[in-house]
Amino acid sequence: TLQQEASRKLGYSVSQTMTIAQRLYEAGHITYMRTDSVNLSDLALNAVQKIITADFGSEYHQLRKYKSKAKGAQEAHEAIRPTYPEKRTIDGNNTEMRLYELIWKRTLASQMSDAQLEKTTVKINVSSSPQKFIAQGEVLKFDGFLKVYIESTDDENDEEDTGLLPPIKKDQELSRKIISATQRFSYHPPRYTEASLVRKLEELGIGRPSTYAPTISTILNRGYVLKEDREGKEREYISLTLEKETVRKEIKTEITGSEKAKLFPDNIGMIVNDFLLEYFKNILDFNFTAKVEKQFDDIASGKGDWAKMIDDFYKPFHKQVQTTLEVSDYTKGERVLGTDTDSGKPVIARMARYGPVVQIGEQKEDSDEKPRFASMLKGQHIETITLEEALNLFRLPRSVGEYEGKEMTVAIGRFGPYVRHDNKFVSLKKNVDDPYSITAERAIELIEEKREKDRNKYIKTYEDEPDLQVLNGRWGPYIAYKKKNYKIPKGTEAKELTKENCFKIIDEADKSPKKKTTRTKKK
């Protein structure tokens, strides 16, 4: 729960939370943090009771003893809590202080009274229709544990809007002023955050608090999964308003589907997952993992035989590995999308040496004709790319006309779509320019914008020394020569520098002793 709440409330990754908690534990600020226990010692319960009673009053205290709901919970240690609950804060950096405060508040809240809410539901009958309107509101009568702590939630689709209702009586007749109706859409299941993934692992009985962080770090470090923000898309919806006897219809827009700090499977992760499901389905079964955890617990408590457990697992597993090595042809991670209508050749999405690609045709031994390849764009995946999207990739590079007697070509490279003109590359504007439909006029506009930017960048160049340049940088003018940068002395006018002046500055800089950075060793 600590890992989940720190992710939701503080924005810490699971591994970051455990690293900070380790430092707090080593400094004696909190109890052992790699535990799934929810129990507090009598010493802690008494200390917390005194704090709650002194600060808020006896009505805010309620002794509670919890039982873990997690599958296979060991509860070998006390729950995570401040070592000394009377310490409301600690000396430390900001991240340590914030995590400690979270633990302190949750510890107190766990021994406080329930909050008391008065919830009112009003059902409004319509004289001309069997349908009913429903209004809900709630009032906080007693704040209880909410005085200290409000728990976060992973439910992104909860749109329930509750608030104060006006004074109203049973059987009161209401007059209609405005009735509004807004079009809403169903939501796909939300993608996992680190916090919600930990919660799912707990529900399935997979892993322990000590293994959640390394598990998530591993899939991120290997590139199976990406953790990133993604922009939403604009969507239209209908709004209807009935006022007096007139119904007004409006088409409005909203941004939907934006994601923040979510986990997205990448191409290599999808391929590995499909491969394992194909050949090691029994091991990827959630029940298998939970069963192994239970066997480990039995071995730790002396009820199980370690050698027998390993023998029962390893013999069939080794045989399964050998069989897979002999029959597997899945290493390419290919997916056939369909047929190219122009050539009649198959269109295949697969993983290549430098990333996911789409190819048209296959290399045949009796033919010199080679397949055509196109790299996938960012956000496209082997598992989800459509035939139409794949064929679009082969529409580039494309010519959009000539400018100053030289061809302008649009293509997509490692850093995104661009226009090539006179051996120079100009990037297209993100979310503005479409490489498949950009016009010659827009391409010329981008080229001129780039030229203007370059003119401001280059203060001075030298025809007989193309490697020598005086440039405008973020921190002011500087000299660039053979991939090295040199400061221009104060009081020197950059525009007036001759070639000889530049080389003198370069020579003096190369001769001057380099500053050494010394580190103080900790004893």
435 contacts 420 by C-beta, under 8 angstroms = no
CB contact burial 131-148 (16+ within 10 A = b; e otherwise): eeeeeebeeeeebbbbbb
265: part of which helix (H) or strand (E)?
strand 259-265
Q: Cβ(258)–Cβ(232) under 8 Å?
A: yes
Integer Cα distance of 211 and 213 in angstroms: 6
Q: Is 217 exposed, middle or buried (0-12, 13-18, 19+ CB in 10 A)?
A: middle
How distant is the alpha carbon of residue 212 from its chain centre? 17
Helix (H, G, I), strand (E, B), or coil: what is residue 350? strand
Q: Where are the beta strands (DSSP E) in 291-447?
A: 335-339, 346-352, 355-360, 372-375, 398-403, 406-413, 416-421, 424-427
- 96-127 per-residue burial string, b: 16 or more CB within 10 A, e: under 16: bbbbbebbbbbbbbbbbbeeeeeeeeeeeeee
By C-alpha distance, which of 302, 210, 242 is closest to 202?
Answer: 210
57's tokens: 């009053």
Residue 420 · residue 412 · CB < 8 Å: no
Q: Which of 12, 25, 32, 486 is catalytic?
A: 32
Active site residue 32: yes
Among 419, 451, 457, smallest CA distance to 435 is for 419
Question: Rounded distance, CA 421 to CA 410, Å?
Answer: 9
- Identify the CA nearest to 267 among candidates 360, 358, 380, 377: 380
H or E segment and range at residue 440? helix 440-457
What distances in angstroms separate CA 151 from CA 2, 9, 469, 475, one per listed residue?
11, 9, 58, 46
Find residue 233's DSSP bridge partners.
Answer: 256
Contact assessment for residue 435 and residue 428, using Cβ atoms and an 8 Å cutoff: yes
Q: Report, as residue numbers or ranges, the catalytic residues.
A: 32
